[in-house]
Structure 1
Amino acid sequence: MVDVNEGYDAFCDFLEKHSGICLGTSKQYLVSSRLRKILQQESVRNLNELVSAISRPGGQKLKTAVIDAMTTNETLWFRDIHPFRILEEKLLPEFYGQRPSRPLRIWSAACSTGQEPYSISMMIEEYKARNRVFNSGEKIVATDISPSALAAAKSAEYAMLAIGRGLDTDRLKKHFEETPGGRWRVKPGIAQRVEFRAMNLQDSYALLGKFDIVFCRNVLIYFTADLKRDILTRIHATLNPGGYLLVGASEAVNGLGDLYEMVHCRPGIIYRKR
């Protein structure tokens, strides 16, 4: 039996340093449930021994596995529908109306297993067909820290259980094709807009380029106030003039009024780069 109390603080420090995730106090049950398999495989007696094993030469693989296991990959199609309605009713009409000659670029940060970026791509596809928009070259850069989540996202294939979480029958028929194994694959026209990259939000964004819209939703809640401010400040630098940031329903951009202007969309709030 692994003692998850001994070394808990050291493990929390490790996790925050390398992933940005701030566990806080009394989350030993979460650590135990997420790391059960790894703790058994490593035959460690407590979290101090686990952190020591990660720190030894050759511990990179274990470090990656631990961070991957501790990353929350909760997601669904068209999550919290309002951001996608705002994209459809405000952001896409504004972009295609004002910048018809430049390809649209969107960043989906902390994209998990791909449902958000593929949902964005479906919305673009439907909007362009409905409004006879002939622009091309849209790019959605989707990033995540979790290797296993990115592998699932890149495969563009989902079991029926995952498909059923937020995706209606019409969109399933329109944007997916069934595989011989009974799974559902995103059609090439939707998938080709999305480029997946491994990224820790604590790292530099310099190689990402500039964006018109950034989705950074339901991830900031796991970070400290200082790290959150740092991330939001650096996201601002990635936005083109007048670009937009969308955060989660329980998240807000506070204390950065010099960088972002709040835009009320009723329902929903988004942030425009100043």
Structure 2
Amino acid sequence: MNERTGTFRISPDEFKSFSLFLEKNCGILLADHKQYLVQSRLGKIMQECSLDNLSCLITQLERAGGNQLKDKVIDAMTTNETLWFRDTHPYDILKNKLLPEIKEKNQRKKVRIWSAACSTGQEPYSMSMIIDEYKRANLGSFSVGEEIVATDISASVLQQARGGEYEMLALGRGLEKERLRKHFKANANGSWTINPDIKARVRFQSLNLLGQYSGLGQFDIIFCRNVMIYFSSELKTQILRKMHKQLNPGGYLLLGASESLSGLSDCYKMIHCRPGIIYQAI
């Protein structure tokens, strides 16, 4: 470890051992050429813990009682790329197809949506804005209420998401000025905080997608977008089967634009929305 720069070398065996740790604990697959990613994201932790090399870190992670360090490492290695209203069409589908359909068949139940791997909150808050806009245009809809359960493995991004405060740089990534004015309040420091009515609809909680989902309850819609690309095909299948169990009959799953289902025809049927593809639980 170079104490001045925080850089360290990684041997092939160390990289293999760390890759196995990461996949076992959060499902993320590291390609062989991703050594630079490990070096850039773990350098600060290595310095803070006075560790000379990756082997020392792996030894610490494998010791009993090392959960705090394990959480910090997984947090550092998790990619938190996110946008407001990412790809646009999933939110158009939510507003123009899914919400009207739920309204017609589910008047006396709370609408429940799961935002899986929600990062810093842009996805669930985008959903909440869509629900708000739909209800204003369709008065009397969803009288029992709505709940968006937003989960992530990273404690740091959940903390930021719960705060609902964003800098202009983050707000400029996909959020229209009209929605900014309508759903946010400007702060003296130049940041903006999401309005309480939009925030109240969202409940954030920690969840590892490798774990169990039964405690979350049942959902009408699950957004699990741009997450499966980090997992093996086997793990992806396991996760999507577990999600199927959490969907109400006829509920919908929305994946990322570059993601698709294979080998799960007993769980989901594909629906073309033009643009966009969604999957309905069968």
The residue number in structure 1 matching 2:265 is 257
SS at match of 1:7: helix
Is 1:234 the equivalent of 2:229?
A: no
Q: State whether residues 218 and 246 of structure 2, in contact with CA within 8 Å, keep that contact through their aligned partners in structure 1.
A: yes
The alignment status of 1:273 with 2:249, answered yes or no, reads: no
| Number of residue pairs the alignment of both structures matches | 274
Specify the code of the residue in structure 1 equivalent to 2:173: R
Indicate which of 56, 70, 77 corresponds to 1:70: 77
Name the counterpart of 1:20.
Answer: 27
Q: CA deviation at 1:135?
A: 2.1
**Offset at residue 59 of structure 1 (A):** 1.8
Indicate conservation of the 8 Å contact 1:233/1:259, yes or no.
yes
Could you say which residue in structure 1 is the equivalent of 2:208?
200
Q: 1:254 is aligned with what amino acid?
A: S
Runs of 4+ in 1 over 6 A off after TM superposition: none
In 2, the alpha carbon distance for the partners of 1:67 and 1:159 equals: 25
Q: Distance in 2 between matches of 1:265 and 1:250?
A: 16
**Structure 1 stretches of 5 or more lacking a match?**
none
* Corresponding residue of 1:30: 37
Stretches of structure 2 that go unaligned for 5 or more consecutive residues are 2-7
CA contact (8 A) 1:244 1:273 kept: yes
| Matched residue, 1:211 | 219
After superposition, give the CA deviation of every residue in 1:33-69 in whole Å (9 maximum; x if it has no partner).
1111112222223221111011224422111100000
2:54 paired with 1:59: no
**Is residue 103–residue 141 contact of structure 2 (8 Å, CA) maintained in 1?**
no
2:5 maps to: none
Counting only pairs closer than 5 Å after superposition, residues 134-173 of structure 1 correspond to structure 2 as 134-136=141-143, 137-173=145-181
What's 1:106 paired with?
Answer: 113
What secondary structure is seen at the aligned counterpart in 1 of 2:119?
A: coil
